[in-house]
């Protein structure tokens, strides 16, 4: 246990590290008063601010807390809470939304292809299905006419994908090849998930296997595309395992700010220079012979002497970033003859996939949501993160009606206010800053019963950072005289999107019944 931690929950997490636990799968911990009374349990009519962004991994837990008649597991006497959410997670969730969606992004690649009367197929493992369908379609849930979804179910028997780093990538490749041989599909968009999914796990051997599994299937698919006369475009949504280490040598399991490649499987193609992910949709449309709408501000990257319409495969190798430093780049360290061959044999350019280029604040890394959104939109779309950062900067965050509804409601009703979300300096699910600003708002309003429920996840963070962040929150609560960290759990359990309801139940029982390792209150 690290002796520097003096606050109760931070010390408990540090002790868990010493016993072999890590942030992502941290077992549930709950603060208790002597002799063993759990503190800060969520109860019927309490108020909850779920301050995460992103949204799809938050749905299951939010539903269990808010939906009358929820039946995926036994709940606490059918209780429901009053919830405010940072962004809109799902229409089924009754909540006050602090930053409602601006609107669906219209005129996306898939919509334009559909309106042109062409057929398209999207193929991915279920782990990445939402990115290829919902996000790439501009946050539109329904497929467009002529759009087929082929979703390969990810293996549900493994506890995490370091046990099966190959995932079901060969089945995804089989489905792609089937559609390549079916001339009715004018456009095929597919995602190989392994580098990103396995890359978030601190297991170098598993990551290398994941990279090599993807490489093998890339080779199969590119050959099949050539045999079928289909032009293949290969790119990525963001970087990941190409920067596996921090400068001091610690493992970095997060996303990166690296550019990504954009490869055209036509040796005679002339490319018009580097760009960003907004250039992908205009390029695909120009190759399909479909006019690019004026709303797409990206430019086509390909100039072919033969301008006749052709079938196109857009293959997204999720997490394939570029980094010349071989000492930190696991893609360089893996056996990747097919990815190497793409860069050696075909024209390619680099695309920016992070920061303002994909609607994110300056200096931030890329992610799958913004990456796929911008691949499909063909223009920059302001991210929720950028909107929230601006609100914090200009002070309107503290005036947000949803936050004040929850705080004022809890105070007026004599109920507890619960702040639930990621405890991380930077995560695709949010930032520690969101929580800190909420605590300051609670203190300014004199809110008394405030409980913090932290979700830990080390993606993009240094090892054992969760304890440090939780300690910072506990210290802030002491300074403000408001709130306490009453529970923590790894985000692996709380933020599921594959209907592993047994995981979500573990988080639910922690929040509402105090099930978890007891941590003595000071």
pLDDT in tens, 380-434: 998 888 899 999 999 999 999 999 999 999 999 999 999 999 998 777 788 999 9
Question: Does some domain include residue 3?
Answer: no
CB 359 within 8 A of CB 386: yes
Residue 338 has what pLDDT? 98
Name every residue whose Cβ is closer than 8 Å to that of residue 203 and which is 6 or more positions away in sequence: 162
Do residue 136 and residue 240 come from a single domain? yes
Do residue 163 and residue 218 come from a single domain? yes
Question: Does some domain include residue 306?
Answer: yes
Confidence of residue 306 (pLDDT cuts 50, 70, 90): low
User: Which of 29, 27, 317, 358 lies closest to 189, judged by CA?
Assistant: 317
pLDDT at 2 over 60: no
Q: CA 133, CA 376: separation in Å to the nearest integer?
A: 10
Residue 3 has what pLDDT? 55
Q: CA 4, CA 1: separation in Å to the nearest integer?
A: 9
Q: CA 101, CA 106: separation in Å to the nearest integer?
A: 13
Do residue 96 and residue 114 come from a single domain? no
DSSP-derived pairing of the beta strands 417-422 and 47-50: parallel
Do residue 90 and residue 128 come from a single domain? no
User: Which of 12, 91, 75 lies closest to 42, judged by CA?
Assistant: 75
Phi, psi dihedrals of residue 513, rounded to the nearest 5°: -125, -10
For residue 45, what are the domain limits?
Answer: 8-100+386-520
Do residue 93 and residue 113 come from a single domain? no
CATH of residue 126: 3.40.720.10
DSSP-H helix ranges across 200-249:
204-228
Higher confidence at residue 94 or residue 430? Answer: 94
Do residue 131 and residue 276 come from a single domain? yes
Do residue 320 and residue 172 come from a single domain? yes
Q: CA 130, CA 93: separation in Å to the nearest integer?
A: 18
Asked if the peptide bond before residue 191 counts as cis, ω within 30 degrees of 0, the response is no
Tens-digit pLDDT profile for residues 230-278? 999 999 999 999 999 988 888 888 899 999 999 999 888 899 999 999 9
Do residue 178 and residue 243 come from a single domain? yes
Confidence of residue 167 (pLDDT cuts 50, 70, 90): very high
Domain boundary (381, 411, 445) is at 381
Burial of 90 (0-12, 13-18, 19+ CB in 10 A): middle
| Least confident interval from 82-91, 357-366, 460-469 | 460-469
Structure tokens at 327: 């000492």
Residue 1 has what pLDDT? 45
Question: Does some domain include residue 485?
Answer: yes
Higher confidence at residue 103 or residue 147? Answer: 147
Confidence of residue 374 (pLDDT cuts 50, 70, 90): very high
Task: Kindly tell me the number of DSSP H helices and DSSP E strands found in the chain.
Answer: 17, 19
Give the global pTM.
0.76
DSSP 343-368: HHHS-EEEEE-SGGGGTPPTTPPP-H
Do residue 243 and residue 150 come from a single domain? yes
Confidence of residue 160 (pLDDT cuts 50, 70, 90): confident
Say whether 147 sits in a helix, a strand or coil. Answer: strand
- Angle subtended by helix axes 204-228 and 169-180, to nearest 10: 10
| C-alpha torsion 226→309→302→312, nearest 10 | -40
Question: Does some domain include residue 1?
Answer: no
pLDDT at 353 over 60: yes
Q: Report the number of distinct structural domains present in the chain.
A: 2
Question: Does some domain include residue 414?
Answer: yes
CATH of residue 58: 3.40.1450.10
Say whether 97 sits in a helix, a strand or coil. Answer: strand
Do residue 36 and residue 123 come from a single domain? no
């Amino acid at each position: 246990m690290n002796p520097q931690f003096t606050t109760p929950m931070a010390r408990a997490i540090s002790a868990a590290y010493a016993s072999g636990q890590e942030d992502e799968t941290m077992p549930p911990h709950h603060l208790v008063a002597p002799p063993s009374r759990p503190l800060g349990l969520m109860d019927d009519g309490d108020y909850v601010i779920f301050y995460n962004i992103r949204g799809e991994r938050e749905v299951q837990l939010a539903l269990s807390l808010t939906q009358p008649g929820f039946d995926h597991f036994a709940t606490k006497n059918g209780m429901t809470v009053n919830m405010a959410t940072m962004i809109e997670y799902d229409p089924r969730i009754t909540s006050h939304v602090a930053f409602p969606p601006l609107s669906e992004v219209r005129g996306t690649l898939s919509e334009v292809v559909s309106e042109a009367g062409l057929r398209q197929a999207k193929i991915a493992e279920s782990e990445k299905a939402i990115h290829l369908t919902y996000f790439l379609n501009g946050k539109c849930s329904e497929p467009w006419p002529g759009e087929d979804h082929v979703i390969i179910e990810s293996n549900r028997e493994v506890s995490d994908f370091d046990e099966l780093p190959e995932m079901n990538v060969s089945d995804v490749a089989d489905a792609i090849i089937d559609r390549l041989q079916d001339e009715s599909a004018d456009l095929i968009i597919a995602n190989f998930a392994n580098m990103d999914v396995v890359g978030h796990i601190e297991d170098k051997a598993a990551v290398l296997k994941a990279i090599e599994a993807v490489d093998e299937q890339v080779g199969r698919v590119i050959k099949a595309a050539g045999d079928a006369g289909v032009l293949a475009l290969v790119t990525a949504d963001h970087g990941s395992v190409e920067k596996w280490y921090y400068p001091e040598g610690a493992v970095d399991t997060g996303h990166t700010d690296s550019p990504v490649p954009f490869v055209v499987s036509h040796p005679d193609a002339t490319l018009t220079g580097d760009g960003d992910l907004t250039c992908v949709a205009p390029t695909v449309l120009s190759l399909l012979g479909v006019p690019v709408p004026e709303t797409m501000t990206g430019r086509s990257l390909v100039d072919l002497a033969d301008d006749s319409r052709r079938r196109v495969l857009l293959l997204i190798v999720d997490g394939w970033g570029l980094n010349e430093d071989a000492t930190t780049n696991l893609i360089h360290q893996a056996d990747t003859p097919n990815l190497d061959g793409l860069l050696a044999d075909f024209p390619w350019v680099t695309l920016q996939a992070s920061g303002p280029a994909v609607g994110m604040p300056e200096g931030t890394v890329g992610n799958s949501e913004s990456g796929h959104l911008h691949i499909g939109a063909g223009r920059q779309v302001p991210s929720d993160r950028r909107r929230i950062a601006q609100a914090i900067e200009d002070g309107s965050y503290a005036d947000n009606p949803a936050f004040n509804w929850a705080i004022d409601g809890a105070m007026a009703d004599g109920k507890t206010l619960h702040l639930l979300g990621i405890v991380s300096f930077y995560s695709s699910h949010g930032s520690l800053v969101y929580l800190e600003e909420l605590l300051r708002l609670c203190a300014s309003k004199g809110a008394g019963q405030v409980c913090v429920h932290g979700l830990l996840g080390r993606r993009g963070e240094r090892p054992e950072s969760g304890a440090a962040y939780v300690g910072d929150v506990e210290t802030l609560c002491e300074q403000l005289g408001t709130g306490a960290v009453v529970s923590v759990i790894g985000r692996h359990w709380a933020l599921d999107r594959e209907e592993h309801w047994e995981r979500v139940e573990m988080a639910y029982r922690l929040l509402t019944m105090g099930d978890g390792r007891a941590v003595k209150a000071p």
